[in-house]
Amino acid sequence: MNRRELIQKTTLLGLGTGVGSITGFKKAVAESYGTKSPVKPPSPLHAPAAGNLPVAFVLGKDAVVLDFAGPLEVFAGAATMDGKSLFAPYMVAVTKDPVTVGAGMKVVPDYDFKSAPQPKVIVIPAMNFSEKDTEMFEWIRTASKATDVTMSVCNGAFVLAKTGLLDGKSATCHHGGFFGFAATYPNVHLKRGARFVEEGNLASAGGISSGIDLALRVVERYGGRDLAVQVADGMEYQGKGWLDPNSNEVYAKMPELTGAHPLCPICLGDADRSISSSYRGKTFYFCMKEHKEMFVKHTDVYDRFLAEDAKVV
C-alpha cells in the first residue's frame, strides 16, 4: 500500500459514508486557492500516462531534512488519473552507505552516482560539501542534460552553482545565504525575495519550506493545477507560495544590521560585538571571524544590495 492509498483508506474508515462532506470540503479547499494565479501560468511538462517519473534526491552530509523530505512528500502524493504514482523518488549519494543528515538522522541511499538511473527531476538540498565532492558535481552536471527540472532547495543552490550550470542564469537561496552566494558565485544573478526561480530546466527555491512550494509548482507543470491542489490538500499544506514565485518579498531587502541587536551581514545571525569592522561610517559586527573576512573582501556585494534595496518600494 502506497502513501496515497494509506491516507485514503484511513480517511474512509474515519468518515464512513460522509462522501458528500468530503466533496464539499475538497471544493472549498480548491476555491481557497482561487482559479487564477497572480502570475503567468507555468509552462507544462509532459507526464506519461504510466507515471513513475524518476526523481533523484541528492544526499550529502548534514543535508537539511525538510529540504528533501518536504519535496519528497509532495512527489510521493501525486498520482495519475488512474491512480498510479506520477513520480518514482529515489535517494542517491556517493556510496550506498547510510548518510547522516540533519539532526543525526541516517538515510540509506537507493543508488550511488555510478548506478543511479537517469532522473527526470533532481532535488538538491542544502548540505555540507567541499571541493572534493567532484563525483557529485559531475553527476548533477551530466544528469541535468536530460532532466525536465533540476531544482535546488535552500542553500542547495550553492551545490547547483558549484556545478557551473547556473552561470549566467538567475537563482535564489535561503535569505541567510544571500551575501555568501553573491560573493561566491558572482556569475549567477541572485534574486532576493523570490520564493523560487525557474530558468530553463533549472530551478531554485528559497529557504527550507520553499522547497515544498517549488515541488508543488513542478507537480502543477506535469499534472495541472487541480492535481497540485489535491496534493497540497492531502498534506494539509495551506501555504500558497507555489502560486507566486515572488511571494518571498519580505526577504527582498536587507534587514537592519547595526541596531541594538546587531546581525551578522553575511548570515543574518546574531552577531558577536567582539568581532567588528567599519565601512562607510558604520560599524558592523559578525558571528565569526571568517564572516568578517568575507565582508571586508566583498564590500561590493553590500554596496550592490544597498543599491537594489533603494529600488524596492
Provide the grid cell at 71. Answer: 519535496
Please, are residues 169 and 188 in contact by the beta-carbon 8 Å criterion? yes
Give the DSSP H or E segment for 21.
Answer: helix 19-33
Please, are residues 311 and 255 in contact by the beta-carbon 8 Å criterion? no
Indicate if 233 and 277 belong to the same structural domain: no
Indicate if 120 and 188 belong to the same structural domain: yes
Whether residue 36 is contained in a domain is answered as no
Whether residue 229 is contained in a domain is answered as yes
Compute CA distances 30 → 27, 227, 233, whole Å. 5, 10, 8
Give the DSSP H or E segment for 295.
Answer: helix 289-297
Residue corresponding to grid cell 540509506: 108
Q: Considering the chain, what is the average pLDDT of its residues?
A: 91
> How many structural domains compose the chain?
2
Indicate if 87 and 179 belong to the same structural domain: yes
Indicate if 228 and 258 belong to the same structural domain: no
47-93 pLDDT, tens digit each:
999 999 999 999 999 999 999 999 999 999 999 988 999 999 999 99
Q: Which residue range(s) make up the domain with 292?
A: 254-311
The CATH number covering residue 154 comes to 3.40.50.880
Whether residue 260 is contained in a domain is answered as yes
Indicate if 57 and 170 belong to the same structural domain: yes
Indicate if 264 and 202 belong to the same structural domain: no
Indicate if 105 and 83 belong to the same structural domain: yes
Indicate if 224 and 303 belong to the same structural domain: no
Indicate if 120 and 146 belong to the same structural domain: yes
264-282 pLDDT, tens digit each:
999 999 999 999 999 999 9
Number of H helices, E strands in the chain: 10, 13
Whether residue 144 is contained in a domain is answered as yes
Examine the pLDDT at 14 and tell me if it is beyond 50.
no
Indicate if 261 and 232 belong to the same structural domain: no
Tell me if residue 106 falls in helix, strand or coil: strand
Indicate if 63 and 206 belong to the same structural domain: yes
CB within 8 Å of 110: residues ≥ 6 apart? 90, 91, 92, 96, 116
Backbone angles phi, psi at 176, to 5 degrees: -75, -5
This prediction's pTM? 0.91
